[in-house]
Chains A and B, each alone.
Chain A
Amino acid sequence: MAEETPINTNPVPATQPEVPPVPPTPAATTANTTNTPTAPETQPVVPIDQVPMAKSHSFRTILLIAMAVVVVFLALVYLLLMLFARPKATPPPPKVEVPPVVVELPVATESSKFATDSAILKLKSDLQTLGTAIDTVDFFETQILPPSIDTKIEIRP
Chain B
Amino acid sequence: MKVLLSILTAFVLIFFLTASPVAADYQTAYTDYVFAQSLYRTSYSEYQSAKSTFLTYRTLASQNEAIAKLKKVLQDRNQVVFTYYDLMYEKLQMSEGVAPEFKTTFANIRTSEQKWLTDHQKKIDAAATLNDLNNVSSEFESRYRQMSSETGQAFGAILIAKETLLNERTNSLANNLSQTIATISASGEDVSTYQRNLITARNKLTLYDEKMVQVKSALTKPIGQPVELFRGQQLIAEANQYLRDTVNSMLEIVNLITR
**A-to-B contact residues, CB < 8 Å:** 111-112, 114-115, 117, 119-121, 123-124, 126-128, 130-131, 133-135, 137-141, 143-147, 149-157
Of B140, B173, B247, the residue contacting A151 (CB under 8 A) is B140
Query: Do residues B257 and A120 form an inter-chain contact, with CB atoms below 8 A?
Result: yes
Query: Do residues B166 and A144 form an inter-chain contact, with CB atoms below 8 A?
Result: no
- The interface residues of chain A, by DSSP majority, are classed as loop
Query: Do residues B254 and A154 form an inter-chain contact, with CB atoms below 8 A?
Result: no
How far does the alpha carbon of A130 sit from the alpha carbon of B254 in the complex, in Å?
14
* Complex contacts, A156 vs chain B, CB 8 Å: 130, 134
**Could you list 23 A-B pairs, sorted by A, with CB under 8 Å?**
A117-B258, A123-B177, A124-B254, A124-B258, A126-B176, A127-B247, A128-B251, A134-B240, A137-B166, A139-B159, A141-B159, A145-B155, A146-B148, A146-B152, A149-B40, A152-B141, A153-B47, A153-B137, A154-B133, A154-B134, A155-B51, A156-B130, A157-B63
B229 touches A (CB below 8 Å) = yes
How far does the alpha carbon of A115 sit from the alpha carbon of B77 in the complex, in Å?
62
- Interface 1/0s, chain B 116-142, versus A by CB < 8 A? 000000000000001001100110110
* Complex contacts, B237 vs chain A, CB 8 Å: 139
How far does the alpha carbon of A123 sit from the alpha carbon of B181 in the complex, in Å?
12
Query: Do residues A119 and B80 form an inter-chain contact, with CB atoms below 8 A?
Result: no
Query: Do residues A144 and B91 form an inter-chain contact, with CB atoms below 8 A?
Result: yes
Of A112, A120, A121, A134, the residue contacting B166 (CB under 8 A) is A134
* Complex contacts, B138 vs chain A, CB 8 Å: 154
A70 to chain B, nearest CB (A): 76
Q: How many residues of B contact A (CB 8 A)?
A: 62
B233 touches A (CB below 8 Å) = yes
Query: Do residues B159 and A153 form an inter-chain contact, with CB atoms below 8 A?
Result: no
Of B33, B66, B80, B240, the residue contacting A137 (CB under 8 A) is B240
Query: Do residues A155 and B240 form an inter-chain contact, with CB atoms below 8 A?
Result: no
Instruction: Scan residues 38-54 of chain B and give those whose CB is less than 8 A from a CB of chain A.
Output: 40, 44, 47, 51, 54
Tell which of B9-17, B81-89, B107-115 binds the partner: B81-89
How far does the alpha carbon of A144 sit from the alpha carbon of B84 in the complex, in Å?
8
Query: Do residues A127 and B257 form an inter-chain contact, with CB atoms below 8 A?
Result: no
B251 to chain A, nearest CB (A): 5
* Complex contacts, A130 vs chain B, CB 8 Å: 166, 169-170, 173, 247
Query: Do residues A131 and B251 form an inter-chain contact, with CB atoms below 8 A?
Result: yes
Known: A149-B81, A155-B54. 20 other contacts (CB 8 A): A114-B257, A115-B258, A120-B257, A126-B176, A127-B254, A130-B169, A131-B247, A133-B169, A134-B247, A137-B162, A139-B162, A141-B158, A144-B87, A144-B155, A146-B84, A147-B37, A147-B40, A147-B81, A150-B44, A157-B55
- The chain B residue with its CB closest to the CB of A149 is B77
Query: Do residues A134 and B243 form an inter-chain contact, with CB atoms below 8 A?
Result: yes
- The chain A residue with its CB closest to the CB of B147 is A146
Given the interface pairs A115-B258, A139-B240, A153-B137, the reply to whether A144 lies near B77 with Cβ below 8 Å is no
- The chain B residue with its CB closest to the CB of A127 is B251
How far does the alpha carbon of A140 sit from the alpha carbon of B44 in the complex, in Å?
26
Of B30, B40, B170, the residue contacting A143 (CB under 8 A) is B30
